[in-house]
């Protein structure tokens, strides 16, 4: 416990990073991202051949790499948005000291829309989303969507009736609208929350109005987040195999978001404290709470992931098993079993002790370990779909381990999107105070004891 | 003939903060067998009393591990070894384990829960029918508005004068020597 922190200990203008403290990293990441994006655009939009064998082209393989990197990095910012919204809506006091970090992480989300732009182009979509290919094929001969739906209805194509039944949701205009809606609505929500929070920092007479306003707004924003996280996962990841069913998929994606969002918040706060910031407002107690939430979501992730597998495995229905048949074959099965122990059992044992959660020297490797396993998790979601499927030839899928050239494409996409993510994330730290210094409850949070 | 045995000294304190500060001083005086009594939990009092961390978490971890092993052994022995049961073309071997997970989960929780409850009762010496402090009339107020410290006679540092002086020095009032009927 020791010294009780009072308002005298907290500077009126908060703590700011030293000017140029991050500029070296921002410049490096910005440069890497710029070069990577130029190379990626060239890879994605050159060398396309006819649609049916397209997945074997470099562009086809790279589309999957890009999707993997995008899904991995957007999950951090979605996690940040979740913790920010939850913190406001539950009227929490403990995390005021780290709320600005949540806001910074969440505010990366709208920028990730730039990475999603390639998914809007048919040249990229044709490799990823087979249902779009069939829709375009049918639309080619008719003028309106209603007519296209009728053609699907009366077609004898193997999966056309499923496309007809799902047409209310899986159609091109609605898909495009949703993609834009996710980034505009949730991005707008995050922007509004951050703006309210920043206005408090300079208000000479700060009161509780902004807290109350944020709480009310968040009650409305939380459903937007839930829909965005769920249907973003449906539209980009689950739709890789449109004939597959799983009601657990949205919450499965969300569990990874919340877990790794919190892990990244822990890592960020530890690095800031190591650099000499956040000394008065944060204590090991904050790391204890954040570690507990990480621990909880390690268990939640395992619970949800196993629930999805278990019901499908037990029921053994043809429409549902395809996902796990692919992923429990050959080398993918080894990776999947590694996930059981690496993503659940080991972190469970790491994080179960209180002194580990309060020890920054141990939490840095643990959070990085969680990121690596999260990357494996998302790789298993995306990469196997590069293999054999309904319309794409079997040659690419013949070897279950990704061939050498594919791994290099994955690494290029990962580094590019990662550099872009870090570039945007670090830039959010440069302008504002590192914590909401005039929040009415900053003292409550600084003197946290649990 | 009725003989009585000294249990220890009981002292009352005005408030939770007075109790907290007194606890720190009693701790620093080096007493081991003593306890604080208050109508509600006081944050940080365990630190002020210098209490060590409980060993209960380790017991619960062992209980949970025992639960998961028990469940796996139970399910595996009955479903695979003794009476292989083929359900919906599922294998009857080590890969059946996925079907055992709910049982493994349940028994882990059950054994952990039991270890928590019974380990807690055992560590606290509960249940017991009576406590020597119930001999004191004023002690009943600990469930209402009284804050007390009791230093037991079996404490190595206990002495009839010095302990009383210590309790007076740390701000205790209504200091009482509690005696229990020897059985």
Is the CB of B98 less than 8 angstroms away from the CB of A352? no
pLDDT at A49: 53
The residue among A285, A299, A304, A306 with the most chain B CBs within 10 A of its CB, best to mutate, is A306
High-pLDDT (> 90) share of chain A, %: 51
pLDDT at B57: 92
pLDDT band for position A134 (cuts 50, 70, 90): confident
Cα B90 to its chain centre, rounded Å, is 47
Contact between residue A142 and residue A148 where contact means Cβ atoms under 8 Å apart: yes
Contact between residue A105 and residue A76 where contact means Cβ atoms under 8 Å apart: yes
**B98 interfacial to chain A (CB closer than 8 Å):** yes
Mean pLDDT for A402-409 is 68
Place of tokens 């560590």: B123
Convert the pLDDT of each residue in A44-60 to its tens digit.
Answer: 887 655 444 445 677 88
Mean pLDDT for A353-377 is 93
pLDDT at A389: 47
Mean pLDDT for A349-372 is 93
> Does residue A236 surpass a pLDDT of 90?
yes
Helix (H/G/I), strand (E/B), else coil: A286: helix
Pairing, β B173-181 against β B147-152: unpaired
pLDDT at A446: 87
Convert the pLDDT of each residue in A109-120 to its tens digit.
Answer: 999 999 999 999
Count Cβ neighbours within 10 Å for each residue of A16-43 and write b for 16 or more, e otherwise: bbeeeebeeebeebbebbeebbeebeeb
Find the residue in A nearest to B45 (Cα). A1
- Return the half-sphere exposure (C-beta side, CA atoms, 13 A cut-off) of residue B53: 7
Is the CB of B101 less than 8 angstroms away from the CB of A313? no
pLDDT at B166: 83
> Does residue A170 surpass a pLDDT of 80?
yes
Nearest partner of A197 among A35, A115, A62, A84, judged by Cα: A84
CA distance A449 to chain B (A): 9
Place of tokens 């780290």: A98
pLDDT at A391: 41
- Return the half-sphere exposure (C-beta side, CA atoms, 13 A cut-off) of residue A295: 17
Q: Where are the domains of chain A?
A: 35-446
Determine if the peptide bond prior to B127 is cis (ω within 30°).
Answer: yes
Q: Which range, of A205-219, A237-251, A391-405, averages the lowest pLDDT?
A: A391-405
Q: How far apart are CA A138 and CA A151, in angstroms?
A: 7
Is the CB of B61 less than 8 angstroms away from the CB of A314? no
Q: Which of B44, B88, B102 sits opposite A1 (nearest CB)?
A: B44
Is the CB of A310 less than 8 angstroms away from the CB of B98? yes
Mean pLDDT for A391-410 is 55
| Full 3-state SS string of chain B | CCCEEEEEEEEEECCHHHHHHHHHHHHHCCCCCEEEECCCCCCCHHHHCCCCCCCHHHHHHHHHHHHHHHHHHHHHHHHHHHCCCCCCCCCCCHHHHHHHHHHHHHHHHHHHHHHHHHHHHHHHCCCCCCCHHHHCCHHHHHHCCCEEEEEECCCCCCCCCHHHHHHHHCCCEEEEEEEEECC
**A306 interfacial to chain B (CB closer than 8 Å):** yes
Q: How many CB pairs under 8 A join A and B?
A: 17
pLDDT at A387: 66
Is the CB of B43 less than 8 angstroms away from the CB of A309? no
Q: Where are the domains of chain B?
A: 4-52+130-181, 56-124
Average pLDDT of chain A to the nearest whole number: 87
> Does residue A396 surpass a pLDDT of 60?
no
Is the CB of B98 less than 8 angstroms away from the CB of A313? yes
Mean pLDDT for A66-87 is 95
Among left, alpha and beta (phi > 0; psi -120 to 50; other), residue A346 is alpha
Global ipTM: 0.79
Q: How far apart are CA A197 and CA A85, in angstroms?
A: 13
Nearest partner of A382 among A129, A78, A160, A121, judged by Cα: A129
- Return the half-sphere exposure (C-beta side, CA atoms, 13 A cut-off) of residue B49: 18
Q: Which of A1, A310, A352 sits opposite B101 (nearest CB)?
A: A310
pLDDT in tens, chain B (183 residues): 567 888 888 888 888 888 888 888 888 888 888 888 899 988 888 888 888 888 999 999 999 999 999 999 999 999 899 998 887 778 888 888 888 999 999 999 999 999 999 999 999 888 988 888 888 888 888 888 889 888 888 888 888 888 888 888 888 888 888 888 876
Chain A partners within 8 Å of B44 (Cβ): 1, 449
pLDDT band for position A205 (cuts 50, 70, 90): confident
pTM for the whole structure = 0.88
pLDDT at A52: 43
Q: Which of B43, B98, B99 sits opposite A449 (nearest CB)?
A: B43
Tokens describing residue A361: 């020297």
Find the residue in A nearest to B57 (Cα). A353
Task: Report helix angle A58-89 to A109-116, nearest 10.
Answer: 160
Q: Which range, of A158-162, A214-218, A404-408, B65-69, averages the lowest pLDDT?
A: A404-408
pLDDT band for position A335 (cuts 50, 70, 90): confident
For residue A389, CA distances in Å to A318, A395, B178 come to 15, 11, 82
Q: Which fold has domain B4-52+130-181?
A: Alpha-Beta Plaits (3.30.70)
Find the residue in B nearest to A316 (Cα). B88
Convert the pLDDT of each residue in A271-308 to its tens digit.
Answer: 999 998 888 888 889 999 999 999 999 999 999 999 99
Dump the DSSP string for A246-272: -TTHHHHHHHHHHHHHHHHHHHHHHHH
Contact between residue B178 and residue B135 where contact means Cβ atoms under 8 Å apart: yes
Q: Which range, of A47-51, A316-320, A433-437, averages the lowest pLDDT?
A: A47-51
Is the CB of A1 less than 8 angstroms away from the CB of B88? no
pLDDT at A48: 59
Q: How far apart are CA A253 and CA A274, in angstroms?
A: 32
Contact between residue A219 and residue A363 where contact means Cβ atoms under 8 Å apart: no
Provide the greatest CA pair distance for chain A.
76
Q: How far apart are CA A392 and CA B6, in angstroms?
A: 88
pLDDT band for position A2 (cuts 50, 70, 90): low
Provide the greatest CA pair distance for chain B.
80
């Amino acid at each position: 416990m020791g010294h009780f922190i009072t308002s005298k200990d907290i500077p009126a203008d908060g703590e700011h990073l030293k000017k140029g403290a991050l500029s070296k990293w921002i410049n490096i990441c910005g440069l890497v991202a710029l070069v990577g994006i130029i190379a990626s655009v060239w890879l994605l939009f050159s060398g396309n051949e006819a649609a049916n064998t397209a997945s074997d082209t470099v562009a086809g393989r790279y589309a999957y790499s890009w999707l993997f990197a995008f899904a991995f990095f957007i999950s951090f910012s979605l996690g940040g948005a979740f913790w920010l919204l939850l913190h406001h809506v539950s009227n929490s006091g403990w995390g005021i000291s780290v709320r600005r970090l949540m806001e910074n992480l969440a505010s990366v989300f709208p920028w990730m829309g730039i990475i999603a732009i390639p998914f809007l182009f048919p040249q990229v979509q044709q490799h990823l989303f087979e249902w779009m290919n069939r829709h375009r094929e049918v639309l080619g001969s008719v003028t309106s969507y209603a007519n296209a739906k009728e053609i699907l209805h009366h077609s004898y194509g193997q999966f056309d009736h499923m496309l007809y039944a799902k047409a209310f949701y899986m159609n091109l205009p609605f898909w495009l609208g949703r993609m834009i809606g996710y980034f505009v609505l949730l991005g707008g929500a995050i922007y509004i929350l951050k703006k309210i929070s920043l206005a408090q920092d300079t208000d000479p007479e700060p009161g509780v109005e902004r807290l109350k306003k944020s709480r009310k707004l968040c009650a409305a924003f939380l459903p937007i987040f839930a829909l965005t996280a769920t249907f973003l996962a449906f539209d980009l990841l689950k739709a890789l195999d449109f004939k597959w069913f799983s009601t657990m998929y949205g919450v499965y994606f969300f569990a990874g978001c919340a877990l790794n969002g919190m892990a990244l918040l822990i890592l960020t706060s530890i690095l800031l404290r190591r650099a000499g910031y956040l000394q008065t407002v944060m204590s090991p107690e904050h790391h204890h709470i954040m570690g507990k939430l990480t621990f909880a979501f390690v268990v939640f992730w395992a619970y949800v992931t196993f629930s999805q597998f278990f019901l499908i495995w037990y029921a053994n229905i043809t429409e549902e098993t395809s996902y796990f048949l692919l992923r429990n074959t050959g080398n993918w099965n080894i990776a999947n079993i590694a996930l059981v122990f690496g993503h659940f059992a080991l972190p469970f044992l790491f994080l179960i002790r209180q002194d580990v959660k309060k020890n920054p020297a141990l939490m840095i490797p643990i959070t990085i370990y969680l990121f690596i396993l999260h990357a494996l998790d998302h790789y298993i979601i995306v990469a196997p779909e590069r293999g054999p499927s309904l319309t794409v030839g079997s040659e690419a899928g013949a070897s279950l381990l990704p061939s050498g050239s594919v791994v290099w494409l994955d690494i290029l996409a990962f580094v590019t999107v990662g550099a872009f993510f870090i570039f945007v994330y670090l830039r959010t730290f440069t302008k504002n105070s590192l914590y909401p210094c005039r929040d009415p409850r900053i003292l409550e949070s600084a003197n946290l004891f649990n | 003939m009725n003989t009585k045995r000294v249990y220890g000294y009981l002292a009352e304190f005005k408030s939770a903060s007075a109790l907290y500060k007194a606890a720190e001083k009693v701790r620093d005086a080096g007493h081991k067998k003593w306890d604080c009594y208050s109508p509600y939990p006081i944050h940080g009092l365990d630190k002020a009393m210098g209490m060590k961390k409980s060993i209960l978490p380790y017991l619960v971890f062992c209980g949970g591990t025992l639960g998961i092993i028990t469940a796996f052994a139970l399910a595996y022995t009955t479903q695979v070894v003794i009476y292989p049961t083929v359900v919906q073309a599922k294998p009857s071997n080590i890969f059946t384990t996925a079907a055992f997970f709910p049982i493994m989960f349940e028994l882990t929780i059950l054994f952990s829960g039991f270890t928590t409850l019974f380990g807690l009762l055992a560590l606290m010496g509960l249940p017991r029918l009576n406590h020597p402090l119930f001999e004191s009339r004023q002690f009943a107020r600990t469930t209402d508005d009284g804050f007390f410290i009791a230093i037991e006679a079996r404490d190595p540092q206990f002495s009839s004068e010095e302990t009383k002086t210590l309790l007076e020095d740390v701000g205790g009032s209504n200091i009482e020597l509690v005696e229990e009927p020897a059985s």
